[in-house]
Structure formats: C-alpha cells, structure tokens
C-alpha cells in the first residue's frame, strides 16, 4: 500500500516542495492550505497515514487544528501528526508534545530531513499497527483454543453417562441465555458459559457404575453422587486465573430454600451464577431422556419451575426460564439426539 501523507501549510512554496519530495519518493501526498481545509478533508475522506501540520497559520493555528481534529476522531483511531515549526516557536515543541504530536520538522525544511522523518514515522506507525493487530488476533485464537479445550473436557465428562450427551454444552447455553436476559455484560456472559460447561466436572470422581446404574440408587451410591460438586469445586479451584470458575461446580446443587448440597446455603448466600446454573441444569435434566424415564412434556417442565420458585429455584431466574419456555413455542430447547 502506498503511504498517504497530508501536508497542511499556508505557504505555497513549502506545499509545492513537500509535494514534490514525497511524490518522487513514491508516496501519495495531498496538500491543503489551512486547518479548516484539513478538518473538512478528514470529515469526508479516509484518514491518511500521517499529517504534516504547520503551527503558524492565519485564522486557525496548528495547535487548534490538532485539538479539533482529535475531537473528530475516535480515541483508538487517531491520525499521527508531525508539526512543522519555525525556529522562533520556542515553546512550540513542548506544547505540541503535550497535544500528542509524534515528531517535529524544523523550518526551513531540508528535503532529505523531511523525507527521512516521514519515512521513519510511516514505517513506525505501520509496525505498531500490525503488532497491535497480531496481538488481537493471537489473543482471540488463544481464547478460542481455551474454549474448545474446555468444551471437549465437558464432552468427556458427559460421555461417562450414556444419557447425558451434550448436557454440559446445553446447560452452558441456557445459563448464558438466562444471564443475558438478566442483563449480564459480554465478559460475564462468557464467564458463566464457561462455568456452565464445567459445572459437572466433579463427576470425573464418581464411579461409572454409579452414574450409569439404572433404577434407584442405594444411600451409599447417592452419597457418592452428592460428592461431585465438592470434587468439581476443588478441581476448578486450582485455576487461579479465574477464581469464580469453581463456584458453578461447587454450588449448582444448592437449593434456594437451603435444602440442597453440599453446604445447604440458601437464598442469596448461594453465588448468583450457581443459582442460574441450577435452573439451567434442572431444565436440561427434565427435558432430556434418562435411563429410568423419557423427557418430560414442556407443560410439565413449566409447572416444575412455577412450583419450584423460591423453594428449589431463585424466583428471579425461574421466572426468566419460564419466559424462555413461553418464547420457545415449538419446544426446540431440549436434547435432540
């Protein structure tokens, strides 16, 4: 891409000289003779790579022009500016730097100095931008990889039970939707999705024959099942970069009335994300087939939430789930395979 440079100066001799030098060097130069013209140009055209801006101009000087330019631009898309200063401008360089100028070129302008300053600056700006883009891209790729690894781990947990195929992914998706309707921001939505994916990670510590046993569990077997929240909380507690991650696993079997496990917490003492996941988890359990029963009808599931409001479930999140069900006229929100 050919670098584009705008030169703003009220002196036509300087404009002509700069235009010749930059064009001869293979750049695209645009010359404008006032700050006002620059602001008009910037309002209507794509921003250049660099602006050379004279300080001493009649009507609007370089400083004011730059201030007004910055007001027009988005904070993360500011066009680099190099000031052209006369030797008489004693404080100009300090003031220019405070305003965010990238560099200065002193008048009278020496052609080689002009060309080298412009070339170096354009190169620096390009490098900086491509580095920023690379960091953004790498970060995104890492996040995607992390999410895929977590989802795969969730699938592995679900695979222990012949009947819970896709359970963790669905619980994650339902939790995200409840939280979105409740007003969570993007970052918190990503977090609760991750917590939902991993809520049952503790099942890794429960023997397969207990998880897959058809029919009623003995007290001893049920005691095993009840350990999975604490086991999951402990496993995820090791991930110090995201301390909240363990909350969903540890507390998703607490009940709003305090009759759940492992700690018997009640009401708002249960972490909010866990109260959301509890609703999503119960919903998916009821709308999926099990070894001992088929999925319940949508109407029966809805009744469970109406009845469970304030006892099993946080009423606010039960209401959101009921609203989600009422929007889901064709009952698509369930296990399909």
Report the residue number, 21 or 171, with the smaller CB distance to Fe ion.
Answer: 171
Cβ of residue 201: shortest distance to Fe ion, in angstroms? 9
Which one of 7-15, 168-176, 184-192, 196-204 is the stretch in contact with Fe ion (CB under 5 A)?
Answer: 196-204
Residue 284 makes contact with Fe ion by CB under 5 A: no
Report the residue number, 200 or 272, with the smaller CB distance to Fe ion.
Answer: 200
Report the residue number, 63 or 305, with the smaller CB distance to Fe ion.
Answer: 305
Q: Which of 200, 254, 273, 314 binds Fe ion (CB under 5 A)?
A: 200
Which one of 8-16, 49-57, 128-136, 200-208 is the stretch in contact with Fe ion (CB under 5 A)?
Answer: 200-208
DSSP codes joined into one string, 279-292: HHHHHHHHTS-BTT
The residue number whose beta carbon is nearest to Fe ion equals: 200
Report the residue number, 209 or 241, with the smaller CB distance to Fe ion.
Answer: 209
Query: What residues numbered 109-168 form the site for Fe ion, per CB under 5 A?
Result: none
Number of residues in contact with Fe ion under rule CB under 5 A: 1
Cβ of residue 289: shortest distance to Fe ion, in angstroms? 17
Report the residue number, 57 or 247, with the smaller CB distance to Fe ion.
Answer: 247
Cβ of residue 192: shortest distance to Fe ion, in angstroms? 16
Binding residues (CB under 5 A) for Fe ion: these are 200
């Amino acid at each position: 891409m050919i670098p584009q440079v705008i030169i703003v100066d009220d002196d036509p001799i300087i404009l002509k000289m700069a235009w010749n030098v930059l064009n001869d060097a293979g750049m695209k130069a645009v010359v404008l003779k006032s700050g006002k013209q620059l602001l008009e140009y910037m309002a209507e055209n794509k921003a250049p790579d660099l602006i050379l801006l004279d300080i001493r101009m009649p009507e609007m000087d370089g400083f004011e022009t730059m201030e007004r330019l910055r007001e027009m631009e988005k904070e993360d898309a500011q066009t680099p500016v190099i000031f052209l200063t006369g030797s008489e401008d004693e404080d100009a360089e300090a003031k220019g730097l405070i305003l965010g100028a990238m560099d200065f070129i002193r008048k009278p302008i020496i052609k080689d100095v002009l060309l080298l300053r412009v070339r170096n600056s354009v190169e620096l700006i390009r490098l900086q931008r491509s580095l920023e883009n690379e960091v953004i891209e790498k970060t995104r790729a890492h996040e995607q990889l992390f999410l895929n690894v977590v989802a795969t781990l969730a699938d592995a947990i679900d695979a222990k039970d012949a009947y819970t195929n896709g359970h963790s992914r669905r619980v994650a998706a339902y939790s995200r939707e409840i939280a979105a309707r409740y007003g969570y921001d993007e970052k918190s939505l990503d977090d609760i999705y991750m917590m939902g994916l991993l809520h049952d990670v503790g099942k890794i510590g429960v023997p397969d024959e207990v998880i897959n046993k058809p029919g009623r569990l003995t007290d001893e077997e049920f005691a095993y099942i009840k350990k999975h929240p604490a086991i999951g909380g402990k496993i995820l507690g090791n991930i110090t970069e995201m301390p909240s991650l363990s909350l969903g696993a540890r507390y998703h079997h607490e009940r709003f009335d305090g009759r759940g496990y492992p700690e018997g917490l009640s009401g708002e003492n249960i972490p909010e994300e866990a109260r959301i996941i509890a609703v999503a988890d119960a919903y998916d359990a009821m709308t999926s087939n099990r070894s001992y029963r088929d999925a319940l009808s949508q109407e029966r599931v809805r009744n469970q939430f109406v009845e469970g409001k304030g006892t099993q479930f946080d009423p606010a999140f039960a209401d959101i789930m009921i609203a989600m069900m009422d929007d889901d006229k064709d009952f698509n929100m369930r296990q399909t395979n």
